Amino acid sequence: MRLLSEKAMCNTHGQVSSYFAGWEEYEKNPYDEVNNPTGIIQMGLAENQLSFDLLESWLANNQDTASFKKDGQSFFRELALFQDYHGLPVFKKAMVEFMSEIRGNKVAFDQNKLVLTAGATAANETLIFCLAGKGDAILLPTPYYPGFDRDLQWRTRVEIVPIQCTSSNNFQITKPALEQAYQDAQNRNLKVKGVLVTNPSNPLGITISRSELNLLLSFIISKGIHLISDEIYSGTAFNSPGFVSIMEVLKEKKCENTEVSNRVHIVYGLSKDLGLPGFRVGAIYSNNDKVVSTATKMSSFGLVSSQTQYLLSALLSDKKFTKSYISENQKRLKNRQKQLVKGFEKAGISCLKSNAGLFCWVNMKHLLKSNTFEAEQELWERIVYDFKLNISPGSSCHCIEPGWFRVCFANMSQTTLNLAMDRLKTFVDSTTNTNY
């Protein structure tokens, strides 16, 4: 007799890929400048550690808030007791204002349409639960974040159908690719419920163009389906063209407060823009009252702590700080991205021209033994095991062209980045010299 559930016994969690395998290898032998200088350098983690000093400075200057005090009096008891799962109004207000600020205040958000979740992972899954179920499909442009195989499918039982994008046009979304993905889903007897995009793109490190957003909006209108725009990297755009939110396009098209706007949803969080993944702050924004109501009920299974909301409401409400932080953080990301690209160029490797995110999309096709994913896997294993750099192969991101890799640059010190570039150069030299 089976003692465990079907879910416990299944092997479809989405973590059987080289993306997660690289993480496992890193955890066995993590690089440390002092204690393990020959360990694996983690370049597969899209984490922003470049602006911690700005956050720490704010905390030092707001010790009452950091100590959960208000007007010198402890506020801890109120925060420690039960809180409604709708979230603290003061935090939701600060959150939507911060979202507007990142978008240049070109669009405004209503805090009553915001649902708080324990991270963007929970936000994406909750939204999928609200829109689709078993036998349904969500279309995703490739390459896409490997974690989506887990986040969007494992518990919802929804299928991901790829929208195949290629390097021929820098992986932009096209109408033929959208139509082909829709047809592919129908051929599999799946009902397409929506399209999900990451803007800026993970793993490409580029913002989705206005023309692509208009195309996506026209597509969901013609098919009568939903559009999810995961905009968790929206504050990381550091070069032109700048970030354009799908909400801005809705406004331009005069589609606000229409039936179409009820089928457009945004996912956001503070993990990337503020570098606070451990705080587990995610959000769903939707004009659809039923989605907001259902997602709010579901959020009771993964709440953001009252202490986190209280602290961050004060930080996000400090407009002088947020304005300065956003600007300085983008400058630091731009500088770090330049350094990474320059390091790759020195090694004879090119990168997709990027303007956002915490990573670069790197072309190593010329280092492959053959134009196959088997050759890509072999190359990746040499990089991880022999040269101790954990990067993510394109196949784990469902890229249809072998030889692309995602490399993160914001989760390490300058010294560590320099060492990583030295190791990379040694790897390329050894590959070239041995005619690998």
The residues annotated as belonging to the active site are: 145, 230, 232, 272
The one-letter amino acid code at 313 reads S
- The DSSP string of 64-132 is HHHTTEETTEE-HHHHHS---TT--HHHHHHHHHHHHHHTTTSS---GGGEEEESSHHHHHHHHHHHH-
Dihedral of CA 260/261/262/268: which sign? Answer: positive
Q: Could you give the 3-state DSSP secondary structure of residue 359?
A: strand
By the 8 A CB rule, do 199 and 246 touch? yes
| Inter-helix orientation angle 289-298/120-131, to 10° | 120
Dihedral of CA 106/108/113/118: which sign? Answer: positive
By the 8 A CB rule, do 115 and 292 touch? yes
Closest CA to 243 of 122, 146, 330, 148: 330
Exposed/middle/buried for 264, CB within 10 Å: 0-12, 13-18, 19+? buried
By the 8 A CB rule, do 256 and 91 touch? no
Q: How many CA atoms lie within 13 A of 111 on its CB side?
A: 13
The span from the CA of 157 to the CA of 14, in Å, is 12
Q: What is the enclosing helix (H) or strand (E) of 379?
A: helix 373-381
The span from the CA of 192 to the CA of 139, in Å, is 7
The two three-digit tokens of residue 255, written as one number: 């589609």
Closest CA to 395 of 16, 46, 10: 16
The span from the CA of 135 to the CA of 391, in Å, is 34
Distance of CA 225 to the CA centre of its chain: 23
List of residues 6+ apart from 403 with CB closer than 8 A? 363, 364, 365, 366, 367, 368, 371, 376, 379, 394
